[in-house]
Amino acid sequence: MTDPTNKAEPLLSARGISKSFAGVEVLRDVDLDLMPGEIHALLGENGAGKSTFAKIVAGVHRPTRGTLRLNAETVDIPSPLAAQRLGITLIHQEPISFPDLSVAENLVLGRGSGSPLSRVPWAEIIGDARRLIDLLGVRIDVTRPMRGLSIADQQMVEIARALASDSRLIIMDEPTAPLTPKEVETLFGIARRLRDEGRTIIFISHRLEEVRALCDRVTIFRDGSKIATEDIGNLTDADIIRLMIGRPLKEYMHRGKSHIGEVALKVEALSLPGYFENISFEVRKGEIVGLGGLVGAGRTDVARALFGVAPAASGIVWVNGKVVHITDPSQAIREGLAFVPEDRAVAGIFRTLSVEQNITAAVPRQIAPSGIIRRTIEKAMAHDSVRRLRIRLASLRQPIGELSGGNQQKAILARWLLTDPSVLILDEPTRGIDIGVKAEFYDMIGELAAAGRAILLISSELPELLALCDRVLVMSEGHLTADIPRADATQERIMSAAVPQFREAAA
Amino acid sequence: MSASEMPSAPSSQDAAPPRPTWQVVLVRPETMTFLLLIAGVFAGSQLSPFFLDVAYILRSFTLYSEFAIVALVLTMVIIAGEIDLSPAANMALSACIFAWMQQAGVPIPLAIGIGLLSGLAMGALNAIFVIGLQLPSIIVTIGTLTLYRGLAQVIAGDKSIRVPEWFIGIDKVMIGGIPLPVVAFILLAIVLGFVLSGTIFGRQIYQIGTNEVAARHAGIRTARIKTGLFLGIGLVAAIAGIVTASRLGSVRYDLGLGGELQMVLMAMLGGTYIFGGRGTILGTFLAAWLLVIVSTGMIVANVLPAVQLVVLGVLLIVSIVATNFIYSRTQR
């Protein structure tokens, strides 16, 4: 293996790359050099910024600030197509393709030669496609439709497409997650060959073993910043995990113990095939139970099942000692459940409607005992919520879409507090929220527990789970893999229960 | 990473300043409808001295009153994020069933009851497809529009079915000098205007139309409310059909042919947002008058029928463009 850092000229060099979505900074001043002929891993927690960085390089997102230089020339990458022209290809985890077209057609996609009316040169297309697939050393019939190919084969087709446009930089975003070990080996073999041909590969993965087996250098992201770039040989697994999670716990996240009472929510053997299996746990009054795990582990699906948005197929749920069969959110609300969903824009806010209406949406009976809205009651309730949660706004009649993300989230929380829930499920409540407002949320969550509510807190942020929760449950690939009491909870323990191959190694 | 790295970003938490009050009040689609209405009245009065005769305008409105009544309910359906293109066909089928029944000797009150029930059933069929089977309402109701019109033709053939003399002439019944169908339209507008703006039912219609997923998460029974709307528009369409039968004195399968476009035109001209979540009964109320003024104005001015159609088409497109423009400006 050659040492890529010895080569003088980087293929791609990023300087000061920053990205904000709707005013929230997700990537901050990232400098990174990618050498020709190296496989470079990007590591970090969910939301650390590694995928955002990769997507900026691939032209999916445009940086808010910063420059990209490709072969020492400053480039602007406005679209994935432009990236492809520059020789940069992003391989998606779940390949995006046209499932009803043949492999060969998918391979020549976007090539666009000749006039719109000229004949399609089928023989040439199929011949080219065969040659590309053969280059990879895999056996795929190029005349078959993409539908029906395994995910691994679909990825191969995407890689072949990258070769077709002679890409110098290939980005693989968690390519191995859906693959079997044997398919992973094939993929790695191809990746190594591409590297030996002098191409550069960015490899994004959660699986440390794979990174160690494949990559030459790693860059670790945390909270939108680049933390370190090192040769993989210079770092131990412990070093990597420490760099990924090692942020100091904030002062404000300390909270006093609340009185923990009887069981408010009990779940036994809850299953929804394809999403989660055999989930059992309980949450007591005054207790904050964290639910950690990687994105896609099934945490949100459990929450949605409990709240009746997408009910579970089997299992028993008790709320305050009573067996309930919740199949609809309105029923869940009657039983004393509340759910702050993960995706605020999709499932939370009514963007163009007033803040006031957004806050009172879940309590129609209170603002309109007889069906007719009592404006004074509604106004008083909304006003009171705004004051208590310190929601910053110009007017109660203002559309909620004009507020910042943190204040929108406060309004959604306010909506649920009006229902006076005994069980509150919070799904990533602080995602996309400024640091300062996060602190306020942590205080509020602590106060809610102290007031005797049972709280199930889904979060991908380990420090958040550690600082707030009395216990931390961890899910991985649809199963509950750990139930860690506060005293024993460490970031390492949560991570090792969350990351699939750690669990397999332990078992 | 040190604390000094924390960016001193401008406080993005501060809410944007609210729009000035005059903008909130004036920059709305209903204002545009109102101004067009005034312009229409002015233009009409220039064309003909008879135009400003209130009795004449009321008589003209009577011809559109059945569509206008249905358009009020349609406005609510559109605000909820759905659409119903079948009510004009529903009017024809309900009226045919009613006329056929009474001709076969069924007492008139019972025949009316059966006509109304069949309208309700047509609304229920739409609801089953749209809410039960989760199909897009535009496609479903284009289908049922054809189906209902076809059934009406099966029942009535291409003959007119006459209704008894005493049943004819609901449009000649005056209440305080205003024809009964117009009175009904005004009363319904007041009631539905209140329902939409002052009750939980109305509030939840806006919420469903703005974001159905969020509405479900907030415990709003979206399926129940939408079903109610489809049943409501089915029933109101049947009433409108029977009123039309009384006005015309006979029923043919082509009663109210093409009426769905007039209804959609009224809702759109009134500033109802085609993608749901926005719109008012006041807007549709004003737009109904605007449509009548423009149509009668053109008749008074002897504009060719073909040109009249062109003008209506242009009006519809202008109203959609203007509404979208206004909403996108205020949406941020």
The complex scores an ipTM of 0.83
Give the count of domains, chain B.
1
Of A362, A367, A402, the CB nearest to B219: A362
Q: Cβ contact (<8 Å) for B211 and A350?
A: yes
Residue B110: count of CB within 10 angstroms of its CB: 12
Q: What are the beta bridge partners of residue A420?
A: none
Rounded mean pLDDT of chain B? 88
Asked if residue A504 has pLDDT above 50, the reply is: no
Instruction: Report the Cα A94 to chain-centroid distance in Å.
Output: 14
Please give the pLDDT value at position A112.
60
Mean pLDDT computed over A214-239: 87
Rounded mean pLDDT of chain A? 84
Q: Is residue B8 part of a domain?
A: no
Q: What are the beta bridge partners of residue A32?
A: A14
Asked if residue A67 has pLDDT above 60, the reply is: yes
The torsion angle over the Cα atoms of residues A290, A294, A299 and A300, rounded to 10 degrees, is: 110
Asked if residue A236 has pLDDT above 50, the reply is: yes
Asked if residue A1 has pLDDT above 60, the reply is: no
Q: Is residue B1 part of a domain?
A: no
Please give the pLDDT value at position B191.
97
The torsion angle over the Cα atoms of residues A483, A488, A491 and A497, rounded to 10 degrees, is: -30
Of A25, A353, A367, the CB nearest to B206: A353
Asked if residue A89 has pLDDT above 60, the reply is: yes
Q: What are the beta bridge partners of residue A89?
A: A170
Asked if residue A2 has pLDDT above 60, the reply is: no
The CATH number of the structural domain formed by A251-336+422-507 is: 3.40.50.300
Q: Which residue has the higher pLDDT, A156 or B252?
A: B252
Asked if residue A202 has pLDDT above 70, the reply is: yes
Please give the pLDDT value at position B43.
82
Residue B318: count of CB within 10 angstroms of its CB: 14
Mean pLDDT computed over A402-422: 90
Residues 200-239 of B with CB under 8 A from A: 200-201, 203-204, 206-207, 210-211, 213-221
CA distance A315 to B21: 54
Same fold: A4-245 with A251-336+422-507: yes
Asked if residue B11 has pLDDT above 60, the reply is: no
Q: Cβ contact (<8 Å) for B1 and A225?
A: yes
CA distance B327 to B27: 9
B280 is written with which tokens? Answer: 């008012």
Among the listed ranges A153-157, A161-165, A378-382, which one has the minimum average pLDDT value? A161-165
**Is B332 an 8 Å CB contact of chain A?**
yes
In chain A, residues with a C-beta closer than 8 Å to the C-beta of B213 are 346-347
pLDDT tens digits, residue range B272-290? 998 899 999 999 999 999 9
From residue A244, alpha-carbon distances to A24, A473, B271 in Å are 21, 20, 53
Of A329, A333, A402, the CB nearest to B16: A402
Q: Which residue has the higher pLDDT, A426 or A4?
A: A426
Residue B317: count of CB within 10 angstroms of its CB: 11
For CA atoms A230, A232, A235, A237, give the dihedral sign. Answer: positive
Q: Is residue B296 part of a domain?
A: yes
Q: Is residue B21 part of a domain?
A: no
Are A324 and A317 in contact, with CB atoms under 8 Å apart? yes
Give me the domain span that covers residue B323: 49-327
B329: nearest CA in chain A?
A352
Asked if residue A438 has pLDDT above 70, the reply is: yes
Among the listed ranges A202-206, A216-220, B268-272, which one has the minimum average pLDDT value? A202-206
Please give the pLDDT value at position B327.
79
Residue A296 zone, left/alpha/beta (φ > 0; ψ -120 to 50; rest): left
| Residue A409: partners with Cβ closer than 8 Å, 6 or more residues away | A340, A344, A348, A429, A430, A433, A437, A441
Q: Give the model's confidence band at B212: pLDDT under 50 very low, under 70 low, under 90 confident, else very high.
A: very high
CA distance B35 to B46: 17
Among the listed ranges A392-406, A424-438, B86-100, which one has the minimum average pLDDT value? A424-438
CA distance B260 to B268: 12
Of B7, B9, B331, the CB nearest to A352: B331
Among the listed ranges A296-305, B64-73, B306-315, which one has the minimum average pLDDT value? B306-315
In chain B, residues with a C-beta closer than 8 Å to the C-beta of A372 are 198-200
Fold classified for A4-245: Rossmann fold (3.40.50)
From residue A320, alpha-carbon distances to A420, A422, A483, B257 in Å are 14, 8, 21, 59
Asked if residue B51 has pLDDT above 80, the reply is: no
Please give the pLDDT value at position B20.
64
Alpha carbon of B118: minimum distance to chain A alpha carbons (Å): 29
Q: Give the model's confidence band at A46: pLDDT under 50 very low, under 70 low, under 90 confident, else very high.
A: low
Q: Give the model's confidence band at B323: pLDDT under 50 very low, under 70 low, under 90 confident, else very high.
A: confident
Q: Give the model's confidence band at B70: pLDDT under 50 very low, under 70 low, under 90 confident, else very high.
A: very high
Please give the pLDDT value at position A210.
84
Mean pLDDT computed over B69-94: 96
Please give the pLDDT value at position B3.
36
A258 is written with which tokens? Answer: 């609340």
Q: Where are the domains of chain A?
A: 4-245, 251-336+422-507, 346-420
Q: What is the CATH number of the domain that holds B59?
A: 1.10.3470
Q: Cβ contact (<8 Å) for A401 and B332?
A: yes
DSSP string, A57-124: HTTSS--SEEEEEETTEEE---SHHHHHHTTEEEEPSS----TTSBHHHHHHTT---S-TTSPP-HHH
Of B200, B214, B330, the CB nearest to A347: B214
Are A225 and A32 in contact, with CB atoms under 8 Å apart? no
Please give the pLDDT value at position B25.
66
